[in-house]
Chains A and B, each alone.
Chain A
Amino acid sequence: MMAAAADELRVAECYQCGKCTAGCPVAARMDRMPNQIVRQVQMGDLEGAMASAAIWECVSCQTCTTRCPKSVDCAGVMDMLRALSAERPSPAQERHHTILFQHAFLKNIRRHGRLNELELVGTFKTAVFAKNLAVPFLFKDAMLAPKMAQRGKLKLAGGSVRDREVVGRIFDRCLRGTDS
C-alpha cells in the first residue's frame, strides 16, 4: 500500500536538486531537510523518515510541492509519513505537541461536527500536561482569554450541527478503511 502511495506522490522522480528545501519556511529548524526525507522514502526507509521530528514541523504550506521541477508531491510525502506514524504511534512521538493537537482537533470535530475552540484548548492542554507535566504550558496564553472575551472572540459553545451522528459514522468508515 505504501509503495502505491509513494508512486502516486512521484517519489521515484526526485533527483535531489534541493528546491523543496530551499523554499521551505521551516527547513532551518528541521532535524532533517525535506529533500533528505524524500530520499529516505525513495530508498524505502519509511521507519527512518517517520522517526524524524521534521514531519511534525512541516506547516503544510505546499511550497515544496508547488516548486518541484519533477512534480514530486513533497508536502504529500509529509502527510503520508504523518498518517503512517499516527497509525503506529510510539511513546516518543505521542509526546509531540503537534500530534496531540491534531488528535484533539479530530476528536473535537467528531463529537460536535464543528470545532468547539474552548473545548479544544482544554483537551489539548490536558493532553500535553499528561505527557510532559509541564505546568507553564498549561497556563500559557491564559492572559489572552480576557482580551479575546473583550473582543467577543470567546464562545462558550461552538455552532450546532443538527445531524451530528453522521459525523461519527463518517469517521468510523474512514478510520476503519471500509465504507460499509
Chain B
Amino acid sequence: MELGYYPGCALHGTSNDYEDSVRACLDALGVGLKEVNDWICCGATAAHSINHKLSIALPARNLALAERDGFGEILAPCPMCSMELLKAAGLMKTDGALRQEMGRIVELPCEGRTTVLNLIQVFQKVGIENIKAAVKRPLEGLKAACYYGCLLTRPPETLRFDDCERPSSMEAVVAALGGATVEWNYKTECCGAGMTMANEDIVLDLSHKILTNAAAHGANCVVVACPMCHVNLDMKQADIERRYSVRHGMTIYYLSDLVGRALGLTDEALGINRHFVYGG
C-alpha cells in the first residue's frame, strides 16, 4: 500500500522521533509513504485564533498540492494537522463559493477530495488481524493507558472517527499486539496542546492530572498518537515532577512505537531511545 504523507512541522522538528517511529513501523507493515510535494504549515492554533480565512487557506493549499500529486489518501500523523486538513476539505466539498475563492487565494484548484487519515486509521486499513498475525514479540507486561487527547476525535462532525467521549480504537491495536490496557478517566482530556511555550502553567497542570490518573488506574505507560501530547507528557514530565514535587516516571509511547516493537523493530529504529523518559 502507498499513501501520500503530510508530516507537518512538528514531525520535521522537535517530534522527529515520531516521524522515525511512523516511517519504520509502516515500512515494516508494507505501507509506503510519499511526501506531499512542497507542503506548507497547516497554520495550527495560531491561524484559527487570529485569522479565520488563513486557517482555511493554509490547509487548502496542502490539499490542493496533494490533489496535484494525485494522492487519493494522505496520512497526517499530527492530529492538529489532520483536523485542519479535514475541516478545510469539508468546506471545499460543501461550499462552492468558498472553493472558488480558495482556488484564487492558494493559486491552485482545491476540490477537497483527498481522504485524510490519522495514524490509527492507517493501522485499521492495514487490518488489525493482519497486524496481530505479524507480531513477533508480544507486548507482555504492558499496561497501557491509551490517551486520545482532543483532536483525534473532536469536533466529531469534522473528524468522524471513533467515539468522542469513549474512544477505543487504540485499545484494539494494543490488544492485537498482546498488550493490556487500563480503563481510566482522562482519555479525552486536553494536555494543554500548543500552549507549551506561551502558557506553560496550563500545560503542567493539565498534563500532571493526566499522568496522575493514568498511574492511579494501574497503567505503566501512556500511549499517544499526537506530537503535542508527547511533548507535554514526555519532554515536560521533569518540569511537572519539579512543579508538583512528585515522581511520575511514566514512559510515553507513540502508538507506532508499540506496533514497531511488537513487529521486532529496535528502540533505536523507532526513536524510542530519544524520548526524555526512557527506561529501555
Q: Which residue of the partner chain, among A57, A66, A105, A155, contacts B13 with CB atoms under 8 Å?
A: A155
Q: Find chain B residues with CB under 8 A from A59 CB.
A: 150, 190, 192-195, 202, 206
Q: Is the CB of B53 within 8 A of A162?
A: no
Per the 8 Å Cβ criterion, residues 74-89 of B in contact with A are none
Interface flag for A22 (CB, 8 Å): no
Segment of B24-32, B38-46, B132-140, B259-267 in the binding face: B38-46
Give Cα A61 to B38, complex, Å: 29
Q: Which residue of the partner chain, among A61, A82, A101, contacts B190 with CB atoms under 8 Å?
A: A61
Q: Is the CB of B154 within 8 A of A170?
A: no
Given contacts A25-B189, A158-B12, contact A170 B61 (CB under 8 A): yes
Interface flag for A48 (CB, 8 Å): no
Interface flag for B215 (CB, 8 Å): no
Q: Which residue of the partner chain, among A79, A147, A169, contacts B107 with CB atoms under 8 Å?
A: A169
Interface flag for B57 (CB, 8 Å): yes
Which size class do B's interface residues fall under? 35 or more
Q: Is the CB of B156 within 8 A of A66?
A: yes
Q: For residue A133, give the distance in angstroms from its CB to the closest CB of chain B.
A: 18
Most buried by A among B13, B14, B17, B104: B13
Chain B minimum-CB-distance residue to A117: B13
Q: Is the CB of B40 within 8 A of A83?
A: no
Q: Is the CB of B54 within 8 A of A170?
A: yes
Given contacts A114-B40, A158-B13, contact A63 B52 (CB under 8 A): no
Interface flag for B9 (CB, 8 Å): yes
Which size class do A's interface residues fall under? 35 or more
Interface flag for B245 (CB, 8 Å): no
Q: Is the CB of B38 within 8 A of A162?
A: yes
Q: Is the CB of A83 within 8 A of B41?
A: no
Per the 8 Å Cβ criterion, residues 43-60 of A in contact with B are 56-57, 59-60
Q: Is the CB of B44 within 8 A of A174?
A: no
Chain A, residues 152-180, CB within 8 Å of chain B (1/0): the string is 11010011011100110111011101011
Interface flag for B34 (CB, 8 Å): no
Chain A minimum-CB-distance residue to B101: A179
- Residues of chain B touching chain A, judged by Cβ–Cβ distance below 8 Å, are 9-10, 12-17, 38-41, 43-54, 57-58, 61, 101, 104-107, 149-151, 154-156, 164, 188-190, 192-195, 197-199, 201-202, 205-206, 235, 274-276
- Extra A-B contacts (12), CB below 8 Å, given A98-B195, A113-B40: A56-B199, A57-B202, A62-B151, A83-B50, A83-B51, A114-B12, A117-B13, A151-B275, A167-B40, A170-B54, A174-B54, A179-B105
